[in-house]
Amino acid sequence: MLPQEIIRRKRDGAALAAEEIAFLVRGITDGSLSEAQVAAFAMATFLRGMTRAECVALTSCMTRSGITLDWASLKPRGPVLDKHSTGGVGDKVSLMLAPIVAACGGVVPMISGRGLGHTGGTLDKLAAIPGYRTDPDIAQFQRVVREAGCAIIGQTDDLAPADRRLYAIRDVTATVESIPLITASILSKKLAEGLDGLVMDVKTGSGAFAASDAMARALADSIVAVASGAGLPTTALITDMDQVLGATVGNALEVAEAVAYLTGTQARTPRLHAVVLALAAEMLVLGRLAGSLAEARAKAEACLADGRAAEAFARMVAALGGPRDFTAHAARYLPRAPVTRPCTAQRAGVVAGMDARAVGLVVVSLGGGRRRASDAIDPAVGLSDVVGVGQAVAAGQTLALIHAADDADADAAVAELRQAIRIADTAPPAPPVIHARIDGRDGPGAAP
């Protein structure tokens, strides 16, 4: 086969055969396809799309480009389950979700990523914990999962290496926003984890990658259908990202909020709690650890109430090199920014809207995110005590507390944040936290 002929066929709108896709993936993995050819394939796919069968073939081949984890030989204590989020602002859900599901009898080997653009990354949050290793080898990863019930780490070189190269090229060739390529990228890593079930959290709104409900639905439909076609039972929830999820944005601050959530030492914000419980319930039902979503929610609530979820988080942190008493003394270990400053309301009214993407970019400007993939981040900076949409405020009341490296950064963040939070006389009706649920019973179709 000639790669340029396969690329030409895709450029002209043809559906590629499974053998052609396998040839391209081998070339991406072993380097026999040049960067120009990989970029041309990505652009042809971006413009022409893929049929569902093509997307299943691409996903399966990318999964097989590296190792696939085998949990059966390790005799896991329960079903192997995971969740993936398309990213948001203040999205620390994985930090609570993995230990909750582990405490309920699941096994959660969670492969997560770093933050990009305005969205935060789970690995960056965990890196704020002194000693926590996000890059263990496969043997240690499996040992921690077996002993603690869950482990959250970064992608290793062994899992879906074709995705690593293809994504790097997509990132610099304006081909990231392709639903078939996003689908294959996410699922190739998840299938390589050897899962029994997957739950997708597809965000929609101003702080999400999929800003419109239509795009979020198309992506969720594609992921659920392709995962099912590849033999992985999957359910997707489309969740709201038109405001910060929880009360904090920033790595150490979000870890502190997650610990407070798990231990019950602070009130749980309703929207964050709703998303965590909804995803936990879906995972437990997929893993047959509960017979209904209502029963699953009750089990998750019980694990929070009696401390088992917090204990699972503590075991994971300690097993991956973090402090053994981290959950009891998180404030002692997490870094703190030297400057804190309130961003206050300039008028009385109601928080009528929030540009969540702009809020995320405030944290990037503070040094809590990356402008380039190679940038170092400051884990201490960010926002806490962020107001929610619909909340009444008085003139001079705090909209968020800014944690900054210096006074100049704090001053700039105040000005930017005031532009991102809209105060009016009245607020529109609150949107639902869960917009939709897709469970794989829809018919097949084409990925846009």
Distances (CA, A) of 48 to 7, 181, 314, 446: 11, 12, 47, 11
Q: How far apart are CA 93 and CA 85, in angstroms?
A: 9
Q: Which H or E run includes 380?
A: none
Cα angle for residues 105, 78, 110 (degrees, 5° grid): 85
Return the sign of the alpha-carbon dihedral for residues 177, 178, 183, 188: negative
Which of 52, 64, 84, 125 is flagged as catalytic?
A: 84
Which of 83, 125, 133, 357 is flagged as catalytic?
A: 83
CA-wise closest residue to 270 among 423, 101, 432, 97: 432
Helices (H), 31-152: 35-48, 52-63, 93-103, 122-126, 138-148
Which of 189, 217, 299, 403 is flagged as catalytic?
A: 189
Beta bridge partners of residue 343, listed in sequence order: 400
> Catalytic: 75?
no
> Catalytic: 112?
no
Which of 10, 64, 190, 268 is flagged as catalytic?
A: 190
186 in Cβ contact with 143 (< 8 Å): no
> Catalytic: 84?
yes
Q: How far apart are CA 369 and CA 228, in angstroms?
A: 34
Q: How far apart are CA 28 and CA 163, in angstroms?
A: 9
Beta bridge partners of residue 234, listed in sequence order: 198
Q: How far apart are CA 32 and CA 26, in angstroms?
A: 8
Which of 29, 82, 355, 409 is flagged as catalytic?
A: 82
> Catalytic: 94?
no
Task: List the structure tokens of 66.
Answer: 């590296």
Q: How far apart are CA 176 and CA 210, in angstroms?
A: 12
Encoded amino acid at 95, one letter: L
Encoded amino acid at 326, one letter: F
> Catalytic: 203?
no
Which of 29, 60, 122, 234 is flagged as catalytic?
A: 122
- 3-class SS of residue 393: strand
Which of 114, 133, 164, 170 is flagged as catalytic?
A: 170
371 in Cβ contact with 364 (< 8 Å): yes
Q: What does the CA dihedral 243, 221, 442, 444 come to, rounded to 10 degrees?
A: 170
> Catalytic: 85?
yes
Task: List the structure tokens of 41.
Answer: 């394939």
Which of 29, 45, 85, 183 is flagged as catalytic?
A: 85
Which of 185, 234, 248, 269 is flagged as catalytic?
A: 185
Residue with tokens 């689908």: 183
> Catalytic: 189?
yes
Q: Which H or E run includes 412?
A: helix 407-420
Residue with tokens 């921690």: 144
90 in Cβ contact with 283 (< 8 Å): no
Q: Which residues are identified as catalytic? A: 82-85, 122, 170, 185, 189-190
